[in-house]
Structure 1
Amino acid sequence: MSQAALSTLLILLVLLATLYTIYAGNRDLIRARAWGELSRRALPFLALLVMASTVLFVRNLQQGWAMLAWFAAFGLLIVLSSVLSVPAEERKAGRAFRRGDYAAAADLYRELVERRPLARHYAFLGAALGAAGRLEESVEASTEAINRDPEYGLAYYNRALVLRQLRKKSRARKDLERALETDLPRRFRSAVRRQLEELR
């Protein structure tokens, strides 16, 4: 196999991996037909794709500085696209949640659902409200996420955690079972199975 054919094959593999990664992490946006939001989330992957597709051109340049300039330009592009891929208010809400300021996170997520009423934002609002101890509001927000996208597994998981706190174990079990039937991210699946074992 020639070097050009091998490079083309690698670029195609990067393209397929990029498309799968975008799809796997954003199925809810595809179902909601939130194309603008989806394209924004895809920015870092598209930057990597452009980088991979230009590697042949840069490799053929004889100047050593060209490769360094190419790396620097694409490094900057990837960092910039990563920052721009998540809206500032969503990053701010996520930071508040991670530092344990759940009331502030809930307020910020509430603003997000008013501007962009996506299932993921309602699910994050439900998680923040639950962590802040506002359990009934948390159940309502998670239920709204489920109503907007019945395949958004994180909403079932969040609601189940709160239902357990409310001692509604039967409903919590149903939500956990349903979460496993949806597009729940892999990293949550073992936690769901543990929760189900505890409820038996």
Structure 2
Amino acid sequence: MLCGLLTPTAGDGRVAGHDLRGSRAEARQSLGYMAQKFSLYGDLSVKQNLNFFAGAYGLDRRARAEAVARVIEIFQLERHLPVNSGTLPLGFKQRLSLACAVLHQPPVLFLDEPTSGVDPITRREFWLHINGLVRRGVTVLVTTHFMEEAEYCDRIALIYRAQEIAEGTPDDLKIRAAEISGGADLTMEDAFIALIEDSDRKREAA
């Protein structure tokens, strides 16, 4: 829905100031999206995927060449350019996916479990790229089931049984969970568990 692919059944929503009911095309053009599973063209090379998506985002020939050159350097893809994307290791597939998602320099970026299945070193590298985008003013929305990753974010929304059960900064949620559980020095995972248990208690009492 936030990507402008589904029409909202109720309520309002905006992405980069564009209404999701009346300006879905503009909303889509203002965001980048990276799926959890590799969703690029596996039978195309790395360079061909980059060129294709640069064109799909409507970049003209000059802007397309500049954008492709920029992400090749940022994501260190040079030696993989002729390789079929489907044969890349998972970490490089994710790196290529992120590169394609930011070719048009969108102000908003949606990342759906971007580090699922990758090794710890690649995960850390990925977050360096994400933090670099944030420093350049990009708004990044990340879904993750790794609580230590959630702690990197400025704000967190905890989703349990398809409902938002808590929202706030990492420190806010830890403080709230500590008040509920009576614990101290909670990790983000401890806080998440405490908030889930509190949600279950409230539902049972209702």
Interval containing the TM-score (normalised by the shorter chain)? 0.3 to 0.5
Higher strand share: 2
Normalised TM-score (structure 2):
0.34
Normalised TM-score (structure 1):
0.34
